[in-house]
Amino acid sequence: MKILRHPVFLIAIGLVTGLATGLGWFWHAAGAAVSHAAARRAAAPASAGPGAPWGFWTIEIENLAADLRDEMAKQHKREDQLDEREARFAAERQELEKVRSDIEAQRQEISGKLIEIQALEAKNLRTLAQTYTNLAPAAAVDIFRAMDDTTVVKILSLMKPDTVAPILETMAKSDTDPALAKRAAAITEKLRVVKPAAPAGT
């Protein structure tokens, strides 16, 4: 029984007891800490960080994500503006094509109405114009009845205005043929678009 009273033995017993107590306290504290950490993790909101595949989240990543969203929004806005501009240009092109088509149609219409005196017939027409200038207006009207409007217009275009006026007046005031008044108006309208013959040698 002396060994139980030996100081070395007592010290060894004290160390073993202290070590056992310390280990017991450590495991108890560690278990509490683990439980507390698990509870905090479970209570944390799902939106606190990103989902898979990210396992972490920082303010720099948040800033980069915000910049990316802003840039994408600007890109979408630019695309919308380009689409609007392209649609506007297409409408303007269509309008220009319509205007060009209208101008071409008017040009063809004017060309169809334009009476051109050919150089080869100009000499004969001038001779006829001089001849009818010497006739009384009524006599000239009687001759013009048998001619088509185009020929009459060509002849009248080579006559002086003070000679043409009485002839048209006689046609307009004809009592025997009311249609002559309408014909006089048509001839007057065509006289506005007569293209004179080119001078000889051109």
For residue 202, the model assigns a pLDDT of: 42
Q: Is residue 71 included in any domain, yes or no?
A: yes
pLDDT at 99: 86
DSSP characters for the chain? -HHHH-HHHHHHHHHHHHHHHHHHHHHHHHHHHHHHHHHHHHHS-GGGS--TT-S---HHHHHHHHHHHHHHHHHHHHHHHHHHHHHHHHHHHHHHHHHHHHHHHHHHHHHHH-EE--HHHHHHHHHHHHHHHTS-HHHHHHHHTTS-HHHHHHHHHTS-HHHHHHHHHHHHT-SS-THHHHHHHHHHHHHTTEEPPPPTT-
Per-residue pLDDT of the chain (202 residues; tens, 9 = 90+): 555 555 666 666 667 676 667 666 666 666 666 666 666 666 555 444 445 455 556 788 888 888 898 999 999 999 999 999 888 888 888 888 888 888 887 777 665 555 555 666 777 888 888 988 988 998 998 888 888 888 888 889 888 989 999 998 888 887 777 788 888 888 888 888 776 655 444 4
Which residue, of 65, 97, 113, is where some domain finishes? 113
pTM (predicted TM-score): 0.41
**Residue ranges making up the domain that contains 146:** 115-195
Domain boundary among 67, 88, 113: 113
- Structural domain count of the chain: 2
Q: Is the residue at 42 inside a domain?
A: no
| Residue 126 belongs to a domain | yes
Residue 109 lies in a domain: yes
Is residue 7 assigned to a domain? no
**Position 146 in a domain:** yes
Same domain for 144 and 86: no
**pLDDT confidence of residue 199:** 47
| 6 within a domain of the structure (yes/no) | no
